[in-house]
Amino acid sequence: MDRTATNSSGPALGEVPSTDLPKIAYGRGIRLFDVRGKDYIDGSGGPAVYCLGHAHPEVNEAIKQQLDRVAHGYRYNFTSDPLEELTEIVASQCGPGYQRMIFTTGGSEAVESALKVALHFHTANGEPSRRRFIARRRSWHGNTLGALSVSEFKERREPFEGALIPVSHLSPANTYRPPAGVAPTQVAQYCARELEEEILRLGARNVAAFIFEPVVGAAGGVVPAPEGYARLVGEICERHGVLMIADEVMCGAGRCGTWRALAHDGVQPDIMAVAKGLAGGYVPLGATIYHDRVASVLEERAGGPMTGHTFTAHTLACAAGVAVQRILTRDRLVERVAKDGPGLMARLKERLGDIDALGDVRGRGFFIGLEFVADRASRRPFASTLGLHQGIRRRSLDNGLICYPMGGNVDGVAGDTVIIAPPYNATPAELDEIVDKLDLSVRQALVELAAA
């Protein structure tokens, strides 16, 4: 085996090859600057992470002050002010019932811990046979083996098939691309019924949890579940003793205009995973949050959940999270996302609406997806070999725009989407600039595609 060989099969995960990437120098607010001095407006907050933009002076100062005290007090030796403060903030944002949480170093680890909490709960509750998970196709939950197992993202799973745990994957709850023969208005009922049928097929005594993204991110190109779906799913899970896990790593922490994404649906999951907007990318941080009904069983019968790592509740990361969350609350930025999100979506529809290849614009708050199709009427996607999303990415970088294009949203191979997810404190002028540059970049990429 040639251990010096590099990947010659083209872009991985639908992204630009590393040899084509600019080198970052610094960031200020919504702008990033490469070492050549070129600036980029960050229209997607990277991968929907940077909720406050870059180099926010208050967050940077909080991090510096914490470093001067201690960077990391090992969680199993010490508690800390940042940990206790962040726990109080998150509990207040989540609402009644959510007092217990495990702070992790990112979203994949938060999802992995959510799966472990679910399994440990059932063991402590006297039902150790509940080992199976149910998830949905066209979903993404993370890169650890457990999180990857519950994900259904063909390109990212393929190298690891055979080592992943068995998981049932159901139809995506997508009204733009409903299951065959199902009317868009019936998607919620159909997908909920499909879940119950799978629970019954497996035997409820064998099912630990159902995990889903309230608004699917990278794997679907921002797909909000249809109205009523989450409530139906919650009722089914409760009826059969199955835990509901909400993966809000990408769509949560304010990104959709409510701190909990499922608050929009009036639903309380048993367990949720959050990450990206929790500390805004300043220091890696995620959290697994579980309801009192789960915590009471774990604490009374097992002393607590059996999960944790060296960097669990990392002190510096918690301090960054406290600073970010205080600013979001003080400046009412989640409310601002709820107020300005519909206007941003309307501007995107207006500016790009005459593009024949634009199939759908959807989302909530500052989490918006655009799907491009070869034929609007049939919703037929472009062939994957054409690489439209990669062309949009290249043109966007050329034009000084960071966005988040992805491929494979239709069947794991074909399908081109772009995610727009700006910082919550973006100004109206900055939002307009994002729309202008995306409009230009998409049109240029389509002209190139036609000429190829």
The pLDDT, as a whole number, for residue 18 is 55
Whether residue 343 sits in one domain with residue 322: no
153-203 pLDDT, tens digit per residue, is 888 899 999 999 999 999 999 999 999 999 999 999 999 999 999 999 999
Q: Is residue 8 part of a domain?
A: no
Q: Is residue 415 part of a domain?
A: yes
246-272 pLDDT, tens digit per residue, is 999 999 999 999 999 999 999 999 999
Whether residue 36 sits in one domain with residue 69: no
Query: What is the dihedral angle through the alpha carbons of 111, 113, 114, 116, rounded to the nearest 10 degrees?
Result: 130
Last residue of a domain, one of 278, 305, 330: 330
Whether residue 324 sits in one domain with residue 337: no
Average pLDDT over residues 272-284: 98
Whether residue 359 sits in one domain with residue 319: no
What is the identity of the amino acid at 240? H
Last residue of a domain, one of 300, 330, 360: 330
Domain total of the chain: 2
58-81 pLDDT, tens digit per residue, is 999 999 999 999 999 999 999 999
377-404 pLDDT, tens digit per residue, is 999 999 999 999 999 999 999 999 999 9
Of all residues in the chain, the percent with pLDDT exceeding 70 is: 96
What is the identity of the amino acid at 123? T
Q: Is residue 6 part of a domain?
A: no
The pLDDT, as a whole number, for residue 173 is 97
Whether residue 44 sits in one domain with residue 103: no
190-212 pLDDT, tens digit per residue, is 999 999 999 999 999 999 999 99
Q: Is residue 83 part of a domain?
A: yes
- Alpha carbon distance 392, 446 (integer Å): 8
The pLDDT, as a whole number, for residue 154 is 85
Whether residue 345 sits in one domain with residue 292: no
Residue length, the chain?
452
Query: What is the dihedral angle through the alpha carbons of 17, 21, 26, 28, rounded to the nearest 10 degrees?
Result: -90
Report the mean per-residue pLDDT for the chain: 95
Whether residue 141 sits in one domain with residue 198: yes
Q: Is residue 1 part of a domain?
A: no
CATH code assigned at 202:
3.40.640.10
Last residue of a domain, one of 275, 297, 330: 330
Domain span holding position 351: 18-48+332-451
Whether residue 297 sits in one domain with residue 407: no
> If pLDDT is split at 50, 70 and 90, which confidence band does 300 have?
very high
Q: Is residue 78 part of a domain?
A: yes
Whether residue 40 sits in one domain with residue 65: no
> If pLDDT is split at 50, 70 and 90, which confidence band does 15 have?
very low
Whether residue 244 sits in one domain with residue 172: yes
CATH code assigned at 390:
3.90.1150.10
The pLDDT, as a whole number, for residue 7 is 36
Whether residue 203 sits in one domain with residue 143: yes
Average pLDDT over residues 280-306: 97
- 101, 248 in Cβ contact below 8 A? no
- 20, 390 in Cβ contact below 8 A? no
> What angle is formed at CA 334 by the lines to CA 71 and CA 362, rounded to 5 degrees?
115
CA–CA distances in Å: residue 63 to residues 121, 188, 312: 35, 44, 17
Whether residue 393 sits in one domain with residue 309: no
Q: Is residue 388 part of a domain?
A: yes
Q: Is residue 7 part of a domain?
A: no
